[in-house]
Amino acid sequence: MSTHPAGAPDIRGAFNFRDLGGLTTSDGRRIRPGVLFRSDTLQALTDDDVARLVDHWGIELLVDLRMGREAVAEGRGPLANTGVCYLNAPLQDLAPSDRPEKEQTVGFYLDHLHSPDSALATALRVVCVQAGRPLVVHCAAGKDRTGLVTALLLRLLGVPDDAIVADYLRTAPNMPRIVQRFLEWPRYRDHLTRVPAEVYRAEKHTMIGFLAAVDAIPGGAVGWANARGIDDVLIARLRDGLLESRPPQP
């Protein structure tokens, strides 16, 4: 069972599920609880999990970052039998490469960041449009594809880097259970044998390196988003939908 902030769903069938609510921006605003969740695969949710997510938390949309064939082969799980909307915004999984082991994961992030063909911008655009309606962004482990989308969203919201890194590292203690589960699922068991062990660890240097690469883009995260059709109106919608109102000035 994952560890969550107070009030977040107690989800037993997903090991890396958490609410991003409560994270604070540099100007003192907070992400609203109960509207933006991140997770590993939802294919093994229990009936109680489904009831909590649908009936109590009112989840309206799943943004599934798994590749199309991966999502079809592994399945959507029991939420497919509910009225929760589903969008597959497929991000290519990390493939073996000639990069040094410590650069494999951050290199994967940068490939998506700079690729004009990645669905990364599509995933962010959807979250911007739906901001304020409860949704879950997930992939298989909830670490890299989800971590990539989450980091960019948090940057656009104005969450400081130390909080983004800390959220990423919250995945680390959940990875042993995720790996153990993957050893029982053929697709992921095969992937585990083909990539370095670092790929299945959440390490600080990965997120720090990624955020530094975002900073190197003219305009940072906002400049990246604007260049991919996520304009300032959409970014404002993201912030208005996900951030609590500013406290009244004395």
Question: Per-residue confidence at 148, pLDDT binned at 50, 70, 90?
Answer: very high
185: confidence class by pLDDT, cuts 50, 70, 90: very high
Rounded Cα gap, residues 89 and 78, in angstroms: 19
Residue written as tokens 């990645």?
Answer: 118
Q: Angle at CA 230, nearest 5°, toward 111 and 8? A: 80
Of the candidates 37, 39, 49, the one whose C-alpha atom is nearest the C-alpha of residue 13 is 49
- List the single range of 20-29, 74-83, 99-108, 109-118 with lowest mean pLDDT: 99-108
Does 37 reside within a domain? yes
8 in a domain, yes or no?
no
Indicate the range of 114-118, 154-158, 206-210 predicted with least confidence.
114-118
Say yes or no to pLDDT of 134 above 70. yes
Q: Supply the pLDDT for residue 31.
A: 97
State the pLDDT at residue 74: 97
Give CA separation, 207 vs 62, 65, 75, 214, in Å.
24, 19, 29, 11
Residue 247 within any structural domain of the chain: no
* Count of the separate structural domains present in the chain: 1
- Element at 86 (helix H, strand E): strand 85-88
Judge whether 60 lies within some domain: yes
**Interatomic CA distance for residues 155 and 71, integer angstroms:** 28
The pLDDT score that the predictor gives to residue 246 is 73
Model confidence pLDDT, tens digit, residues 3-35: 334 456 689 999 999 999 999 999 999 999 999
Residues 73-89 have a mean pLDDT of 97
Q: Which residues contact 105 (CB under 8 A, 6 or more apart)?
A: 94, 144, 198, 199, 203, 206
> Is 5 domain-assigned?
no
Q: Would you state the pLDDT for residue 247?
A: 59
Q: What is the CATH number of the domain that holds 62?
A: 3.90.190.10
Q: Could you tell me the residue range of the domain that residue 31 belongs to?
A: 19-91+98-242
Query: Over 90: is that where the pLDDT of 231 sits?
Result: yes
62, two tokens: 């799943």
Q: Say what the pLDDT of residue 9 is.
A: 66
pTM, to two decimals: 0.94
More confident residue, 232 or 104: 232
Residue 13 counted as domain residue: no
- Least confident segment among 86-90, 127-131, 220-224, 242-246: 242-246
Question: Is residue 250 assigned to a domain?
Answer: no
pLDDT of 95: 84
Domain membership flag for residue 10: no
* Digit-coded pLDDT (tens) for 192-217: 999 999 899 999 999 999 999 999 99
